Chains A and B, each alone.
Chain A
Amino acid sequence: MTPDVMPAPSIDYIALLPYILVGAAGVIGVIVEAFVGRGARRPIQLVLVFGSLIGAFVILVVNRATQGIQAEGALAIDGPGILFMGLILLLSILVALLMAERQLDPAGDAFAPRASALPGSEDERELTVRGYFQTEIWPLFLFSVFGMMLFVTASNLLVLFIALEIMSLPLYLMAGMSRRRRLLSQEAALKYFILGAFSSAFLLFGIALLYGYAGSVEFSAIADALAAEPGQTALVVGGTALLAVGLLFKIGAVPFHAWVPDVYQGSPAPVTAFMAAAVKVAAFGALFRVMYVALGGVRWDWEPLLWIIAGLTMLFGSVVAIAQTDIKRMIAYSSIAQAGFILIGVSTATAQGLYASIFYLVAYGFTTIGIFAIISMVRLSGGEVTRLDQWAGLGKRSPVVATSFAIFMFALAGFPLTSGFIAKFLVFESALAVDNLGLVIVGVIASVMAAFFYIRVVVIMFFREPVEGAPAAAVPSATTTLALAISVAVTVILGILPEPVINLIEQAGVFLR
């Protein structure tokens, strides 16, 4: 009797090339850290990062017609998946531009020279004086992007979990690497890690319950099981709820948002931009796929839940943001509120809702990166100046930067001729198309409250006289300038001529299973 031969898995390496490129670049980056001399690391890492991200994006675009379930049912490379991945890659490229900045901080870049050195210690000071830079952040960054790409295309629950961890673990580290205000940064990292670990546990528990119900971790098998046996059991309800908790945590939806303000405030600005833009896209991508593909059969159960969460998230984020005096915390609460608007699209359970949300993520992602680019530029010798009242009169001293920031604020507030308006329009439309008037009204109320604090920033920048010793926007190097210019351009162009992007998104078709 011959022993059972395990068949070799069939892997289409061409289809997986974007993943391989980014993942391999991360691995090579680690090797570079170990074997290459200090001086040569940064240029090599930059080549690796930009080469792999841009390369992966190009391959994705060229190969966009190659769709299907890949790697033995582990990954679903479909229209929406490609859109999510493409958006993650684009946003990551912009984030990398911010991370490469070396002109704003007189001591160098935005990251601690060695994360293990105690804050304020002799050790740290010496590293700064000797001009050490840390480059480990680049491979970490690539791993995180790699995890995100897996996360939005994961087609079974185990891959989903693994992708979540690949994406999150580097983020915990990156959050703690701020060069300035290191204690705050380390606190942020620890908070993010502990709460993130909690949410991972929830997700894992949910996976276990769903596996118990369907006998498989594949999304398609779960969907089939739900279709075959519509009567839901406690396993499905519990599994769905726990899985949702894990995903909503990453999104920062109320009531799983507690980490957002502290982590956004403490992390280095480029990392915060990464979390606020790319991570949010990834989390929504995964949420969409899980809810639409695997759990579409019980959508009557999760729809009302998402309505409530979307409503709470919009209202809570908007209300609390009003009281903030720190710009990073304000943007953090604003990002919570924005997540609520995107959740409206998820809660419709329609393709229209999916497209609206993707458009919203495009608009929101670019605007957010622009915002953090500017936050990293407004500084004094001690680092970024995030107290709102110190931004008074910025419009007078740095008119171009302040005008850009005003454009972003108007976009987040949903003013016409900005991307945020079209985004809000599409999301509200998707909700009204399924007759969900209530959620739209809550959205309108939240928008009004949110407008109040967005406008307040404009008031502070333009209508107040500058205070003594207030900062002006520092002149950044070409990389930050480029990222900022792209963000402004996308925000304005999507507001005036959104047609091509809308068409592109609507051609994406539906999720494969």
Chain B
Amino acid sequence: MTSLPWLTILMVVPLVGSIIVMLLPRDRDVLPKQVALGFALLTLVLTVVMGLQFDADATAPFQFVESYPWIPALGISFSVGVDGIGLVLVALAATLVPVVILAGWNDVMPGSGRSVKGYFALILILQTLMIGVFAATDVFLFYVFFEVMLIPIYFLIGRYGGADRSYAAVKFLIYSLVGGLLMLAALIGLYVVSVQQLGQGTFDFAALVGLDIDPNTQKILFVGFFIAFAIKAPLWPFHTWLPDAAKESTPATAVLLIGVLDKVGTFGMIRYLLPIFPAASEFYAPLVVALAVIGILYGALVAFGQKDMKRLFAYSSMSHFGFIALGIFVFTTWGLSGSTFYMIAHGLSTAAIFLAAGFLMNRAGGSSLISTYGGVNKVAPVLAGFFLFAALSALALPGLASFIGEFLVLLGTFAVNVPVAVIATLGIVITAGYALKLYQKVATGPPSPAVEGMSDLRGREITTLAPIVFLTILLGVFPAPVLNVINPAVERTLEVVGVTDPPSVIPPIVQGSAP
């Protein structure tokens, strides 16, 4: 442990970067990108340095804790700290931001009338907010990050996206605001309960977990938080904004949106719903499990029928979010560890597929229609190879990170509810179907007119994808470091909920996942 305010530093560095990028002269096109990349890499290095000091066996729930009074009159403080779950998600954000900056190097062409530096400044601001939302240990602070995050992503979609960007941006914002305001009402309700029980209101996470909230009140407040998270993550039936937002975003924005931001929803379920509303969580668990399973199957089936690649990825993600929610609400260590691991794996997988597809689309004038493409592997074999890898990662091929996540979730589900586990497994089969069908249509067969003469990946693009591929394989064959970090936090969460794993016939097979 160290006394450096690590998390604040991690938030301040990208913020400073974004301000510097904004202050750069208007006519420089490359400099803003270089500065933004520099700050993003600096943040990544700092995150790694911080992560190495994380003590997985510590007894304190949160590490790198800082707390400063903010609005004492309302019991609000600027408090940050991470447990294992928070740490890996901060790391995910820190990893993906430099990747998308590099991938989005030419997203904004000079002379398009859109500001180059604005694009990269928004990405850096978003990074500050993403780190903040995963690090906050004050629920009010979390809410502020949760809501303010909408604004940069709204501008990223609305200013830099595709033809229908304005519609998609507004739809995204309105959906998110509905959730956000319901959460606000529930948050205030929680505050009022804390006033009644403690004599003075607080938003401190630990204090709120310690409250003894009447089950009926829990049920009401749970709904407010849950809908906000379910819209964010998106679960069926709160998902309809996602395909539009994904389609109209640039690939870089889509990676941040689906890869990181949407994880805030599932992260919120683990961090806030389960510990603060344990009784309500158990009460609503069957409902959430049902929504999750519907989402798994519905997302996969609808993805099968998509003609547009980006929409396909969006529905596929929705199906995967179903897995994550399922793992959370079966209340087993395997399930919860699996969900957390899957959040990371899905972030990487999303980055791989959106960026590979993005590079492909850039070469064909930006069309995201699947029918535009064919025979890419003959013309651009390296690109097709990455595309195949991304598709395999999406269908959770054993040996890749997403397999570990999906497998643990199903294992955890199987231990408590066999029928649900069986139905959810069907989703994997369908996923394999559409992922391979997509690859087949895009990459095999005779090259289509749009594909002919296509250049293969260049150095910058390979540099972008390589780290993701590397991490996906590394975590797929050697998940222990991440699981070791996650598991104490997972066990602590389940302890608070008051659930113990059912006796199982399945021995712990993944290192570190033993209950």
Contacts and interface: CB of A to CB of B under 8 A. Distances in A.
B73 A463 contact: no
A451 B174 contact: yes
B147 interface: yes
Interface stretch (A366-374, A409-417, A468-476): A409-417
A455 B170 contact: yes
Contacts of A502: 71, 73-74
B16 interface: no
A288 B117 CA distance: 50
Contacts of A264: none
Interface in B71-126: 71-74, 113
Contacts of A462: 155, 158-159
Q: Is the interface of A mostly helix, strand, loop or mixed?
A: helix
A305 interface: no
A444 B185 CA distance: 7
A432 interface: yes
A463 B248 CA distance: 13
A413 B148 CA distance: 12
Contacts of A416: 143-144, 147-148
Interface string B144-168: 1001100100010011000001100
Contacts of B220: 437
A41 interface: no
A265 to B, nearest CB: 26
A456 B170 contact: yes
Contacts of A498: 71
Contacts of A307: none
Nearest to B76: A499
A415 B166 contact: no
B155 A428 contact: no
A425 B188 contact: yes
B173 A463 contact: no
Contacts of B191: 429
Contacts of A499: 70-73
A463 B159 contact: yes
B245 interface: no
Nearest to A465: B113
Which residue, B151, B185, B220, has most C-beta atoms of chain A within 10 A?
B185
Which residue, A451, A463, A464, has most C-beta atoms of chain B within 10 A?
A463
Interface in A403-426: 410, 413-417, 422, 424-425
A467 interface: no
A448 B71 CA distance: 26
A65 interface: no
B166 A441 contact: no
Contact of A444 (B71, B151, B166, B182): B182
Interface string A379-390: 000000000000
B426 interface: no
A224 interface: no
Interface in A426-473: 428-429, 432-433, 437, 440-441, 443-444, 447-448, 451-452, 455-456, 459, 462-464
B24 interface: no
Interface residues of B, number: 32
Given A459-B158, A463-B159, A502-B71, A433 B192 contact: yes
B178 A448 contact: yes
Interface string A481-513: 000000000000000011100110010000000
A455 B185 contact: no
Interface in B169-214: 169-170, 173-174, 177-178, 181-182, 184-185, 188-189, 191-192, 195
A455 B195 contact: no
Given A415-B147, A433-B192, A455-B174, A464 B71 contact: no
Contacts of A455: 170, 173-174
Contacts of B185: 428, 432, 440-441, 443-444
A451 B160 CA distance: 22
A422 B73 CA distance: 12
Contacts of B188: 425, 428-429, 432, 440
Contacts of B151: 410, 415
B432 to A, nearest CB: 39
A506 B70 CA distance: 17
A353 to B, nearest CB: 13
Contact of B192 (A413, A429, A463): A429
B178 A417 contact: no
B166 A459 contact: yes
Contacts of A506: 73
Which residue, B158, B166, B182, B188, has most C-beta atoms of chain A within 10 A?
B188
Contacts of B174: 448, 451-452, 455
A408 B182 CA distance: 22
Nearest to A406: B151
B219 to A, nearest CB: 13
Nearest to A505: B73
Contacts of A433: 192, 195
Nearest to A500: B73
A85 B144 CA distance: 32
Contacts of B155: 462
A448 B185 CA distance: 12
A447 B182 CA distance: 10
A416 B165 CA distance: 24
A441 B181 CA distance: 9
Given A428-B188, A429-B188, A506-B73, A464 B166 contact: yes
A437 B169 CA distance: 31
A432 B189 CA distance: 6
A448 B159 contact: no
A451 B180 CA distance: 12
Contacts of A428: 184-185, 188
A414 B182 CA distance: 13
A448 B177 contact: yes
Contacts of B159: 462-463
A432 B192 CA distance: 7
A359 to B, nearest CB: 11
A301 B71 CA distance: 36
Contacts of B195: 433
A181 B144 CA distance: 43
Interface in B431-471: none
Given A416-B147, A451-B174, A462-B158, 4 more contacts: A414-B181, A437-B220, A447-B177, A459-B169
Closest 3 CB pairs of A and B: A416-B144, A463-B166, A444-B181
6 contacts: A432-B189, A444-B182, A444-B185, A451-B173, A462-B158, A502-B71
